[in-house]
Amino acid sequence: MLRVIGKRLALLVPTLIGLSILLFLWVRNLPGGPATALLGERATPEAVERVNELYGFNEPIVAQYFTYMGKLLQGDFGTSINTGRPVLEEFATRFPGTVELTIVALIFAIGIGIPLGYVAARYYGRFVDHSSVVLSLLGITVPVFFLAFILKYLFAIQWPILPPDGRQDPRMDATHVTDFYVLDGMLTGEWDAAWDAFQHLILPGIALGTIPLAIIVRITRASVLEVQNADYVRTARAKGLLEKTIRNRFILRNAMLPVVTTIGLQVGLLISGAVLTETVFAFNGIGRFLRDAIFGLDYPVLQGFIIIIAILYAVINLIVDISYSIIDPRVRVS
Amino acid sequence: MPDGAGTGLWKDAFRRLKKNPQAIAGAVIIGLFLLVAILAPVLAPYGGDELPGRTEITPTNIPGPGELDAYPLGLDRFGGDLLSKLIWGAQASLLIGVVSTALGLVGGMILGLLAGGLGGWVDSVIMRFVDILLSVPNLLLAVSIAAILGQGPYAVMIAIGVSQVPIFARLLRASMLSQRGSDYILAAQTLGLSLSTITMSHLLPNSVGPVIVQATLTLATAVIDAAALSFLGLGGGRPQTAEWGRMLTYAQSELANSPQLAFLPGICIAVTALGFTLLGESLRESLDPKTRKK
């Protein structure tokens, strides 16, 4: 097991180095050079020269790359041009919001997706099955940001039962310990603050979770359909095991394998979707900051955020692979 | 297969496709949107960037559907005719979707072909490169590339195309590797055919099926992603440009009073994506040996 993890981590290193080289070359090859990108187009040649001197842009490119990598390894991802704060700090303050959002989206997707897919397969060809197929087709084809609009219009404007934007009501005056607002409220005993933060998560969470939901429904349905006719299920029935035992221990457990992999694959989708969802709901997470960085041409932020996201993405996929072997003993042996 | 003897895989698949209602529904949807896109100059009452109703709108009032005879679906906040913009938007969206998928397909197939055909270090280098691209979530990759290239429709096409390269490259390579050990390849090798002949006339035609299926499905994603990039503002052009994603950006502030400004372009994106998805999935089914019955 450890060897597998070690091997995967070893494979990850060249990929991330490659990515860092690409990102590095990108910023160094910006029109007018990195100094102009920092100072803006109307910078005087003297100012450009000063910045080049200051940041070492005059050094040979290979030397610059190693300096950049050295800093990166020490956790120095540079400074945001727009806010003047360290990139890592900007990431750290916004990441909890996106994590909260992603968790709500995943709970929504898994909590509805697996039961629905399972029921659809069990009642194959019936009404539940057909509606689950249509529903998942819709989930895949309706764009996230459009769905966000629909939800916002229905539940924040037409029937204003949920807040239309933000992470928390600014009038809340909540204490923030961890920057996970829901958790903060629970830790400090400010239950109203926790509840308010949670309400802000519902609409964006549903919008973000719909595509994963659609995919999970399909995979669960297909997987259960395949498993429930397997020989070992027939054998279990012949042995006279309880239907409940057969369903829980034989069908569900085996059918979950592809579903777990799929859930892992959704993480990338969730991060991409967060950029859109957070924009529509003015939700202060990494997605929205990333979008602002694109328009503010904040290259250090783009560069840093992409590397951090790639690392997280890889780590999550690794965790998924490990959990896979926990569910399926056969993977462990081989 | 008594009656299928002598028919090719594709001919066979096409025959099955014609009987599949799902495929027909997809084809009809795509056909309609294509028709609208091509006939946009004839169908649309006004030009895509025109603002014929500039004088009709006030900051507090945007005429909605049916309020003015000249604009059946009403106006947008710039004074553009919503119906015309939806029609011109079909052209923009389909064009971006098709061109970007074509770029991704060609790029991915070249890489996949080199990796799967040559193997060895070429394969390793290409696959590592593909891994790098895959290490960044798809849409995020497209957004970053579009940000580098500068905002504009071509940037969006290239960005989405590049972000699709990894899928196609991997698929073609995997498909070619699975064919490599086949008897017909062995036969071709025994005949002394050159590597390029074997790859191009034997390996490729037999491996391309999954790639074609993926391309059809990718068209759906491409249309959605293109709209997403435009929605974020990476599409360039003027604010009133007739593009579905762009229309949603500016519908945001009018959501309470003029929800149709968001809903109609959104529905157009979803239905187009639905068409490509239906078509792609029935194509997959009809090519899949497991589901092929008759």
State the average pLDDT for chain A. Answer: 83
Structure tokens at B268: 């157009």
From the list B128, B144, B231, which residue is nearest A14 (CB)? B128
Residue with tokens 């029109």: A31
To 10 degrees, the CA torsion angle through A213, A215, A219, A220?
A: 10
Distance CA A111, CA A258 (A): 16
State the average pLDDT for chain B. Answer: 83
Report the pLDDT value the prediction gives residue B290, as an integer from 0 to 100.
Answer: 59
Residue B80 φ then ψ, to 5°: -80, 155
Within an 8 Å CB–CB cutoff, is residue A157 touching chain B?
yes
Which one of B128, B133, B140 would you mutate to disrupt binding with A, by most A Cβ within 10 Å of its Cβ?
Answer: B140
Residues of A in contact with B224 (CB under 8 A): 141, 143
From the list B128, B132, B270, which residue is nearest A141 (CB)? B270
Residue A282 φ then ψ, to 5°: 45, 50
Q: pLDDT digits over B134-149, tens only?
A: 888 888 888 888 877 7
pTM of the entire structure? 0.85
Within an 8 Å CB–CB cutoff, is residue A153 touching chain B?
yes
Report the pLDDT value the prediction gives residue B260, as an integer from 0 to 100.
Answer: 84
Q: How far is B76 from chain A (nearest CA, A)?
A: 17
Q: pLDDT digits over A249-293, tens only?
A: 888 888 888 888 788 778 778 888 888 899 888 888 888 888 888
Q: Is the pLDDT of residue B5 over 70?
A: no
Distance CA B84, CA B47 (A): 7
Within an 8 Å CB–CB cutoff, is residue B262 touching chain A?
yes
Distance CA B279, CA A134 (A): 15
Residues of B in contact with A16 (CB under 8 A): 135
Residues of A in contact with B273 (CB under 8 A): 140-143
Distance CA A276, CA A151 (A): 14
Residues of B in contact with A313 (CB under 8 A): 135-137
Q: pLDDT digits over B70-103, tens only?
A: 777 777 777 778 888 888 888 888 998 999 999 9
Q: pLDDT digits over B149-206, tens only?
A: 777 888 889 999 999 999 999 888 888 888 877 888 888 888 888 888 888 888 888 8
Report the pLDDT value the prediction gives residue B3, as an integer from 0 to 100.
Answer: 46
Q: How far is B280 from chain A (nearest CA, A)?
A: 12
Distance CA B101, CA B222 (A): 7
Q: pLDDT digits over B19-50, tens only?
A: 888 888 889 999 999 998 888 888 877 777 77
Q: pLDDT digits over A45-64, tens only?
A: 787 777 777 777 777 778 88
Report the pLDDT value the prediction gives residue A332, as an integer from 0 to 100.
Answer: 58
Instruction: Categorize the per-residue pLDDT at A301 as very low, low, confident or very high, splitting at 50, 70 and 90.
Output: confident
Q: DSSP labels for chain B?
A: -TTTTT--HHHHHHHHHHH-HHHHHHHHHHHHHHHHHHTHHHH-SS-SS--TTTTT-BTTB---TTTBTTBTT-B-TTS-BHHHHHHHHHHHHHHHHHHHHHHHHHHHHHHHHHHHHH-HHHHHHHHHHHHHHHTS-HHHHHHHHHHHH-SSHHHHHHHHHHHHHHHHHHHHHHHHHHHHTSHHHHHHHHTT--HHHIIIIIIHHHH-HHHHHHHHHHHHHHHHHHHHHHHHTTT-S-TT---HHHHHHHHGGGTTT-THHHHHHHHHHHHHHHHHHHHHHHHHHHH-TTT---
Residue with tokens 């897919």: A117
| Helix residue ranges per DSSP H, chain A | 2-28, 33-39, 45-55, 61-73, 87-122, 127-141, 144-152, 181-188, 191-227, 231-238, 243-245, 253-280, 286-295, 299-327, 329-333
Q: Which of A165, A166, A164 has its CA nearest to residue A181?
A: A166
Report the pLDDT value the prediction gives residue A183, as an integer from 0 to 100.
Answer: 79
Report the DSSP beta bridge partners of residue B234: none
Distance CA A47, CA A53 (A): 10
Q: Which of B203, B1, A55, A16 has its CA nearest to residue A47?
A: A55
